[in-house]
Chain A
Amino acid sequence: MTETAKPISTKALIAASLPRRYRAEQRFRLYGRAAILLAISALALLLFSVGSQGFTAFSIYRFNLPLQLDAKLIDPKHTADPKVIAKGRYRKLIQKALSDAFPEVRSRSDKRALYAFSTGLNSVDLRNQVVKNPSLIGTQIRFTAPLSDDLDLYLKGKITPRKFGKGDGTLTASAPGPKTLTLTGQPGAFEALIQHIRQKRLVQASRLETRAEKLRERIKGANKEVAVVQQTEIKRLENLAADMRQKAKEHTIHLDKLDPSILIDFNQGFIKAIKLSDHQITGTPLLSPTSLEPTQNWQSLTLDSPERARRVTDKQAAWAEALLARGHVKRSFNSIFFTHADSREPELAGIAGAMVGSILTLMATMLAAVPIGILAAIYLEEFAPKNRLTDFIEVNINNLAAVPSIIFGLLGLAVFLNMFHMPRSAPIVGGLVLALMTLPVIIIASRAAIKAVPPSIREAALGIGASKTQTVFDHVLPLAAPGILTGTIIGLARALGETAPLLMIGMVAFIADIPKSLTSPATAMPVQIYLWASSAERSWESRTAAAIIILLLLMIILNLTAVFLRHKFERRW
């Protein structure tokens, strides 16, 4: 019984343990899939957030206006002297062109608001055009320049969403006073707008109530004096909320400073609503309509964030909408971003300076690190005697690869700038510092690649009387080339993305010119991203993301080159 049972029991044991083993295997696969899924979704999230942010920076709104190159403002004495022409009052010319587009804008504050459509630096561009071609003086040209960043953001819907509502039925207008217009539509024409305002007010009220509630929670344990102060704040919030709820019930809505702005586009004019009822709107014209003829062709524009909470006023919004409708403002590809260096004005800032800086820096890195790295690797792997000294060197190379990059920056600062007095902020210094950082990576990768070449090839070459050098350069190096290339490119890609060491040697400065040589002041892409990311204005946000996209693209190109070269050389051998 036992003799026959034994083999069966072995099988049975195995069979019994099988489900557990398979379950373990399945569990492991599940973990693997979960890990991959997590990694992919994290990557997708990153790409989506960067992509959706940066996407808007690739297009820009430009205004295109007729501009009279008035000789009185450029060269009043007709000297035709380039020096005089260069000193013309170009800013004034651009301002006049903007004024001409809206002749009804009279008051100083309104004019200032209108002139904000064009940044002051646009005058430089106009001056350059005129200096290059003085025969333009006295003629009318069409001047194109980027709209200032706030208005660009407004038109992109980034400041507050531009919600248009198609007008329903005929709208008639009457002017009871000089600065008042009454628009009358069919019954229920403004019902949707009224509902929207009511809802907004209720949301606002409940928000205030939550705040009051939170404060109340907080003062429970606090001392009396604080509690008394907070008590009045709570009271104020609650009153406001109650007020809001009350106002939400109004039959005729009186819009106040906390409400969204409602603009009615009527006969090429914009009227800002003040009093809003079922079929009638009373408001002030922000931009006068061309006529008061009744029209079916009207629409409403709702800007949810209250006027005082945003950087673009209702008037500016109306002007921007009008320019857009007239075709004087158009959205187009943001070529400035790819051809300009950094600027104080986001609409004139570009990545080109940083890109050229990065390329120059990387060139310096490559020239310094690649030959030294590969030769060091060859020597250590093929020629150097194996003794304590080479062991010590090897350990130190491995350690250097793990040194934080800012340390290399400090080293560069101390050695290249302070000892050798090399120029500050220059790509050559940045390149050398990055070369120091990349060297260990290249050496380690190259040594691994050389070590991976089968010894039989070396024996074959030595066996027919090739010298050591001939063996290495004729046979070992070609075989190790794909590995060396891959390691080198990955090292360089890392250098391309490095910020910290460049901060130490002054490549973090604001540089408004595209660098021309290895010694001219420059910045690099990651540093540019860092600089923009720490800027306050909203428009930098999208430009930061756009710069990240470009940097990532460069990285991908570099890494694809590595993969491509690897495959190409591997197939040949």
Chain B
Amino acid sequence: MDTSVSPATQTTDTPAVQQAPKVQARKVNVFYGNKQALFDVNLDIPDRSVTSFIGPSGCGKSTFLRCINRMNDTIDICRVEGDILLDGKDVYARDVDPVILRASVGMVFQKPNPFPKSIFDNVAYGPRIHGLASNPEELSEIVETSLRRAGLWTEVADRLDEPGTGLSGGQQQRLVIARAIAVRPEVILMDEPCSALDPIATARIEELIDDLRNNYCIIMVTHSMAQAARVSQHTAFFHLGKLVEAGPTEQIFTNPNDKRTQDYITGRFG
């Protein structure tokens, strides 16, 4: 509010994005019981690019991320006000089924959480419940393409029957990404996808995210400023439940409009 440029209008100003934003947030307020976690968030997120949410712990960036696919519905005391539009349609509208929404807005979590089933079943579970494959051959094809896209195929092709929980942390996270893209989502939400991984595995995931950018709208929460700078084209800075500033990554990191953004990026707090 004290920013001179509204974050919502800012993204449209950038020349890199011509088409309409994939996700739009209008005056989003989120409450946990009586405690307000997000205040009047307005934000446009473009398609086929990576958008990072940064900010200190407890600033509401994960909360906002989980609003986009209505994962907050599972928390009883959580209440969301305002509009979140996916392709111009409110995801909180009455006629939107969260099951369909989550099929088109996939999610990857901080800690790799593969199902305690085989690698194949992990990836095949989504297509199976949504009926995306009409026969077993088609299903294995989906599994293979998903695993290939997630860059895991060559490592697991000969052991698809082994439990997914037996893979290394980085492989598990890529398996989870493969599982998410197997249901052909349009948006992939990633909640600190690399914070539980070592630097080498992190590098592989970042490469993967860079590849996936061409086909999906990727929204990522991260604590690593360097990662945000490396991977994302757009960055939004949250502080104390408010969206302070949003814009092209380059601009946010080199020439932020807000003092708080600058302080956070230069490491003065957070």
Interface residues of A (CB under 8 A from B): 385-386, 454, 456-467, 470, 474-475, 478-479, 573
Contact = CB atoms under 8 A, between A and B. Distances in A.
Interface string B86-113: 0000000000000111110011110101
A196 to B, nearest CB: 75
A466 B113 CA distance: 15
Contacts of A456: 109, 111, 113
Contacts of B106: 463-464
Interface in B156-210: 176, 179-180, 182-183
Nearest to A478: B116
Contact of A460 (B99, B115, B129): B115
The residue in B71, B111, B129 that gathers the most chain A C-beta atoms within 10 A of its C-beta is B129
B247 interface: no
B130 A465 contact: yes
A470 to B, nearest CB: 6
B135 interface: no
A461 B74 CA distance: 12
Contacts of B183: 464-465
B100 A463 contact: no
A76 B183 CA distance: 90
B115 A465 contact: no
Interface residues of B, number: 27
A466 B180 CA distance: 12
Contacts of A464: 102-103, 106-107, 125-126, 179-180, 182-183
A463 B102 contact: yes
B2 interface: no
A459 B113 contact: yes
Contact of A385 (B76, B115, B129): B76
Nearest to B176: A460
B177 to A, nearest CB: 11
16 contacts: A386-B76, A454-B113, A456-B109, A458-B74, A459-B109, A459-B113, A462-B71, A462-B74, A463-B106, A464-B102, A464-B106, A464-B179, A465-B102, A465-B129, A467-B99, A467-B129
Contacts of A458: 74
A463 B103 CA distance: 8
B71 A460 contact: no
Given A464-B179, A464-B183, A465-B130, 14 more contacts: A458-B74, A459-B109, A460-B113, A461-B125, A463-B71, A463-B102, A463-B107, A465-B100, A465-B103, A465-B129, A466-B99, A467-B129, A470-B129, A474-B125
Contacts of A465: 99-103, 126, 129-130, 183
Interface of B: 69, 71, 74, 76, 99-103, 106-109, 111, 113-116, 125-126, 129-130, 176, 179-180, 182-183
A17 B180 CA distance: 59
Contacts of B116: 457, 478-479, 573
A28 B107 CA distance: 52
A129 B171 CA distance: 75
A363 to B, nearest CB: 32
Contact of B115 (A386, A467, A475): A475
Contacts, number: 66
A451 to B, nearest CB: 15
Q: List 5 tightest A-B contacts by C-beta distance, closest first.
A: A465-B103, A463-B107, A456-B113, A465-B102, A464-B126
Contact of B109 (A385, A460, A479): A460
A462 B103 CA distance: 9
Contacts of A478: 116
Contacts of B179: 460, 464
Nearest to A572: B116
Given A458-B74, A470-B129, A463 B69 contact: yes
B115 A459 contact: no
A454 B182 CA distance: 23
A461 B125 CA distance: 9
Contacts of A385: 76
Nearest to B101: A465
The residue in A463, A466, A478 that gathers the most chain B C-beta atoms within 10 A of its C-beta is A463
A460 B121 CA distance: 13
B102 A460 contact: no
Contacts of A460: 109, 113-115, 176, 179
A474 B182 CA distance: 18
Contacts of B114: 460
Nearest to B108: A463
Contacts of B103: 464-465
B71 A459 contact: yes
Nearest to A479: B116
B37 to A, nearest CB: 18
A460 B74 CA distance: 12
A470 B103 CA distance: 14
Nearest to A454: B113
B101 to A, nearest CB: 8
A329 B9 CA distance: 107
Nearest to A458: B74
B129 A466 contact: yes
Contacts of A459: 71, 74, 107, 109, 113
B8 to A, nearest CB: 27
B115 A461 contact: yes
A385 B73 CA distance: 12
Contacts of B71: 459, 462-463
Contacts of A470: 129
A459 B114 CA distance: 11
Contacts of B99: 465-467
Given A386-B76, A462-B102, A464-B183, A457 B113 contact: yes
A474 B116 CA distance: 11
The residue in A458, A459, A470, A573 that gathers the most chain B C-beta atoms within 10 A of its C-beta is A459
A475 B128 CA distance: 14
Contacts of B129: 465-467, 470, 474
Nearest to A464: B126
Nearest to A456: B113
Contacts of A386: 76
Contacts of A474: 125, 129
A383 to B, nearest CB: 12
A467 B131 CA distance: 13
Contacts of A457: 113, 115-116
Contacts of A454: 113
Nearest to A467: B99
